[in-house]
Amino acid sequence: MRHFLSTEDWSGVEIAQMLEVATQLKRQPLQTTMQGKSIALVFFNNSLRTRTSFEIGAWQLGGKAIVLNPGKDAWPLAYDFGAVMDGTAEEHVAEAAQVLSRYCDLIAVRCFPAFQNWELDREDKVINAFAEHASVPVINMETIVHPCQELALAMTMQEQFGNLENRKFVLTWTYHPRPLNTAVANSALMIATKMGMDVTLLCPSEDYLLDARFMEAAQDYSAAAGHQLTVSHDIESAYANAEMVYAKSWGALPYFGRWEEEKPIRDACQHFIVDEKKMALTNKARFSHCLPLRRNVKATDVVMDADYCIAIDEAENRLHVQKALMTTLLNQ
Ligand code: CP
One domain, residues 238 and 287: yes
Q: 228 alpha carbon to ligand 1 midpoint, in Å?
A: 30
One domain, residues 177 and 270: yes
pLDDT tens per residue, the chain (332 residues)?
999 999 999 999 999 999 999 999 999 999 999 999 999 999 999 999 999 999 999 999 999 999 999 999 999 999 988 989 999 999 999 999 999 999 999 999 999 999 999 999 999 999 999 999 999 999 999 999 999 999 999 999 999 999 999 999 999 999 999 999 999 999 999 999 999 999 999 999 999 999 999 999 999 999 999 999 999 999 999 999 999 999 999 999 999 999 999 999 999 999 999 999 999 999 999 999 999 999 999 999 999 999 999 999 999 999 999 999 999 999 99
Helix (H) or strand (E) holding 264: helix 259-267
| Number of domains the chain is built from | 2
CA distance 164 to 184: 19
pLDDT, position 100:
98
One domain, residues 294 and 226: yes
* Closest atom of ligand 1 to CA, residue 142: 3
pLDDT, position 123:
96
Q: 110 alpha carbon to ligand 1 midpoint, in Å?
A: 10
| CA 116 distance to own-chain centroid | 20
One domain, residues 41 and 187: no
One domain, residues 279 and 152: yes
Q: 50 alpha carbon to ligand 1 midpoint, in Å?
A: 5
51, 288, 290: which to mutate for ligand 1, most atoms within 8 A of CB?
A: 290
111, 141, 142: which to mutate for ligand 1, most atoms within 8 A of CB?
A: 142
CA distance 23 to 324: 9
One domain, residues 186 and 73: no
* Closest atom of ligand 1 to CA, residue 46: 6
Whether residue 48 has its Cβ less than 6 Å from ligand 1? yes
Whether residue 312 has its Cβ less than 6 Å from ligand 1? no
* Closest atom of ligand 1 to CA, residue 148: 3
Q: 223 alpha carbon to ligand 1 midpoint, in Å?
A: 31
Whether residue 280 has its Cβ less than 6 Å from ligand 1? no
Per DSSP, which regions of the chain are E strands? 38-43, 64-68, 77-78, 91-92, 106-110, 138-140, 168-173, 198-202, 230-232, 244-248, 286-288
pLDDT, position 81:
86
One domain, residues 303 and 184: yes
pTM over the 0.85 mark: yes
Q: 163 alpha carbon to ligand 1 midpoint, in Å?
A: 26
Phi, psi of 127, deg, nearest 5? -70, -35
One domain, residues 124 and 36: yes
Q: 235 alpha carbon to ligand 1 midpoint, in Å?
A: 27
One domain, residues 306 and 165: yes
Find the CATH number of the domain harbouring 228. 3.40.50.1370
Atom 6 of ligand 1: nearest residue by CA position: 47
**Which tens digits make up the pLDDT trace of 209-262?**
999 999 999 999 999 999 999 999 999 999 999 999 999 999 999 999 999 999
One domain, residues 157 and 252: yes
One domain, residues 263 and 160: yes
Structural domain span for residue 15:
7-145+318-330
Q: 291 alpha carbon to ligand 1 midpoint, in Å?
A: 6
Q: 122 alpha carbon to ligand 1 midpoint, in Å?
A: 20
Residue 242, domain member (yes or no): yes
Whether residue 50 has its Cβ less than 6 Å from ligand 1? yes
Q: 42 alpha carbon to ligand 1 midpoint, in Å?
A: 14
Whether residue 322 has its Cβ less than 6 Å from ligand 1? no
60: amino acid identity, one letter: Q
One domain, residues 86 and 32: yes
CB 235 within 8 A of CB 205: no
Percentage helix, strand, coil for the chain under 3-state DSSP, each rounded to 5: 45, 15, 40
Rg of the chain on CA atoms, in Å: 20
Helix (H) or strand (E) holding 38: strand 38-43
Residue 2, domain member (yes or no): no
